[in-house]
Structure 1
Amino acid sequence: MSATNAAPKAELSPVISLRGLVKEYAGQRAVDGVDLDIAQGEFLSLLGPSGCGKTTLLRLIGGFEEPEAGEIEIGGVSVIGVPPHRRTVNTVFQAYALFPHMSVAENVAYGLRQRKTPKAEIASRVKESLRLVGMEEYADRAPRKLSGGQQQRVAIARAIVNRPDVLLLDEPLSALDRQLREKMQVELKLLQREVGITFVFVTHDQGEALVMSDRIVVMKEGQIEQIGSPQEIYESPNSAFVAAFVGTQNFADATLGDDGTASSEATTFTANAERLASYSVGDRLRLALRAEAIRVSASEPDQPTNKIAGKLAGASFLGGEIQYVVIGVDGKEIYARSPLQEAAQVQAGDSVWCSWAPESVMVFAGEDGQ
């Protein structure tokens, strides 16, 4: 089953609408004029570096912070001034905050008991929530006897048992080891599809966002830099910042020539004409290449552009891939990655060539930094 289905169109049925949202701390804007619609049943990730405003935005939606300006609507109703417990939203934080003196089932039932839900309904809903997260057999166990991944499942069961319109998740997988984190990414996505609740997920991990999301919101300095599907964000970043944040490792500054090529101090680039169409001769450009787009070879490629000579500094085995680090003729590092079966027969210290196709060259305005 694919974990990255087509993104819902938020404009058709937004469950959350944010307009002109501003949040300040000590006069500095942590969230700066954000407009965003989030669709019913969507898995949306807020992605960005530390301090970009993603967690603050999540806390504003949840009611844990109030904005200086702007509007927040959930289900078409303004929630400005409405406390967290009165919003149709639940939150799973990095710290799972399970009650140590309660069993797993009692932890999951806590919110229902606070709402004075009938006992028979509590029992059935707790059982169903634990089934959804694969924790039925642990209902009577104490949290301290659970692994980190199991505690995380219980926290999610507790959050969905109230059937909220929206589930907010603040980097809930960050404390797990890599193997368990990757397993939970798939499980969370499948759970979200089954229950149909809107998930708003905060992460700084681009791989996590690409795997799980219907849409990704990339944030920078309190503002939205780009919104798109995982494929759009990865293949068509709208700035060098987004390209770098989703894993692009190779950048070069170049000048556009009158022959449709762009020249850097080390080589000449040819890119797809449509990517250069909005620029003029003499413009400074910021060019980008993903590591997997670069081919490393021992002999010079038979192509006039999009190649550079260098020395192999090292190669790393990544399971099904080999990652190369090449020092180009300009002294800068070039990162390349190839499937194991296509790996070049070269060793550290060898003279090598790096080459790439025109369609793999991403083009940004020269003043757009990483």
Structure 2
Amino acid sequence: MTPFAYSKPGQVEDALRLAGPDSLFIAGGTNLVDLMKENLVRPRRLIDINGLPLREVRATAAGGLRIGALVSNADLAWHPEVERRYPLLSQALLSGASPQLRNMASAGGNLLQRTRCHYFYDSQVPCNKREPSSGCPARDGLNRNHALFGASEHCVAVHPSDFCVALAALNAQVIVASAQGERRVAFSDFHRLPGDTPQRDSVLEDGELILAIELPPEDFARHSTYLKVRDRASFAFALVSVAAALAFDADGRIQATRLALGGVAHKPWRRPEVEAVLVGQQPDATAFETAAARMLDGAQPLHHNAFKVELLRRAIVRALTTAAKGTPI
């Protein structure tokens, strides 16, 4: 591990003054410490933000919910307001990692975790995400867990978070701060597709710090579900996952739909035009099969992950069917 300086400021302003291109913020460290151990990242300074006042979960003026960046995944999953109003988020959090990691991992850090592509973690092989222009061996190598959508010739990795898939479905916003002030980023815009710059996972600039995540006051609590398909029941990343949420009108027809996919792209994958197709439909197998087929339009499977196309189709139909039946309370 490369030597580094360490600071633990007590105020956001102090943390931002210390920030720069050669420094990194650390909270739970459940991903960053691993990256440092493998010499995949080499910050000259670590800024420990655990002393900052960013652990509050509270209602917003608009009636939504504000989640401080340092709230642990465990505390957030079991928070009474999250369980009552946003059970989709609670389900996603509890499907991820292990109890020990959920106790350490933070809400803000969850957004910034790096891909679990084995080529990215092996410093002895090329990786455009780690060293731009060095190559992407996953394209023609072992790519069972890799992308179906949004990939480029430079990278076919997927984002590993369950939490982020639920946040995408819920139209969350991310509040970030820098020395220049605060800004809001729609969750759909927060993570980037690889394009020609796969080393950039998000739109965060050097020195920017996530302060909070805000959820809008939308009523999907009664009809939502998070379905995660993986190789084993615990401590495994998704082969595919689906966050599905529905709202109904007085006649029982679909009034609003949210559908976000995980394990299939560089970011949580949504297609609002497909969600719109379900509006006004009866919540039946025909409608859900049609939506699943349209969500799969444009899929570009690799040599080892073609099985994910049919797996994903079935998962979408199952998730929508489960959400339509009602969220268990």
Measured against the shorter chain, the TM-score band is under 0.3
Where is the strand percentage greater, Structure 1 or Structure 2?
1
TM superposition score normalised by structure 1:
0.23
